[in-house]
Structure 1
Amino acid sequence: MNEPTNDTTNVIPLDHIVDLTHTLTPEFPFIPVKELTYPFELIPMATLKDNGVEANSWKIHEHLGTHTDAPNHFIQGQKSLDQIALKDLIVPVAVIDIEAKASKDRDAELTIDDIQNFEKEYGRIL
């Protein structure tokens, strides 16, 4: 058994973690594949009034909502999600805000100029 340690060398402060997940609703976007995919559906199973507990059933397919695609979804013999270490899923990130540009052009893309301007203001992205 591993003994607890006070070594915080590799600890990521929680105040720097941003939750990028989105709440599932029937309006949540999905890739429409005829006769295969469908919108998310929340189906009430029990209510506090009738059952003393709130409970729902979900109708959902694997590629709906905020999720991680495991390498074995695309390459034979690669890792499934449960085989990927959590430490490999938490990484530093830089957010380059192009909202102003995108509000004028819904097809706006991040450009090399956007990256260079970001780095001039905030420093090199490593």
Structure 2
Amino acid sequence: MSTPGSLWDIYRSRLSAATFTDLTHAFHPGQPHFPAFPDEERSALLDFSKGDAFQVHHYAFVGQWGTHVDPPVHFIDGGRSIDQLPVAEMLLLLVILDISDRVAADPDATPTLADLSS
């Protein structure tokens, strides 16, 4: 049973009726990434096509790649690491600014203050 004010209570009262938007993207070699980082590498260690009884794949990519969380220690020496952040601090309200029309015409388009009032 959960205690009053627990994360489950918040979920049931606030988030159960919320709309969720998945902003993740599947990794793939050649995906856009920070130029100082190497490209993703993949290999099959064990694979059905090689006659193996099961599949095991090896993936190599920089930790700061794709959808991720930057804990304070990423930017602040001595800051908290991801294992020191309570889950409750990871639930935040979100505002979605739809500038997809501008991005379709200009991939470098960025949101402006005017987008907040439209």
Name the TM-score class by shorter chain: 0.7 to 0.9
Give, in whole Å, the separation in 2 of the partners of 1:15 and 1:48. Answer: 41
Q: Work out the number of aligned pairs and report it.
A: 111
Note the C-alpha offset of 1:5. 2.9
* Partner residue, 2:47: 47
Residue identity (%): 24
* Partner residue, 1:10: 10
Give, in whole Å, the separation in 2 of the partners of 1:31 and 1:24. Answer: 14
Normalising by the residue count of structure 2, what TM-score does the alignment of the two structures yield?
Answer: 0.79
* Partner residue, 1:61: 62
Tell me the secondary structure at the aligned position of residue 51 of structure 1.
coil
Note the C-alpha offset of 1:14. 7.3
Give, in whole Å, the separation in 1 of the partners of 2:107 and 2:22. Answer: 24
2:68 corresponds to 1:71 = no
* Partner residue, 2:98: 97
* Partner residue, 1:120: none
Note the C-alpha offset of 1:116. 0.8
Normalising by the residue count of structure 1, what TM-score does the alignment of the two structures yield?
Answer: 0.75
Note the C-alpha offset of 1:6. 8.1
2:44 corresponds to 1:32 = no
**Does the 8 Å contact 1:40/1:64 carry over to 2?**
no
Please list every run of 5 or more consecutive structure 1 residues that lacks an aligned counterpart in the other structure. 118-126
**Does the 8 Å contact 1:70/1:81 carry over to 2?**
yes
Give, in whole Å, the separation in 2 of the partners of 1:102 and 1:60. Answer: 27
Please list every run of 5 or more consecutive structure 2 residues that lacks an aligned counterpart in the other structure. none
Structure 1 runs of 4+ aligned residues shifted over 6 Å read none
CA pair 83-44 structure 1, distance change in 2 beyond 3 A = same
Q: CA RMSD in A?
A: 2.1
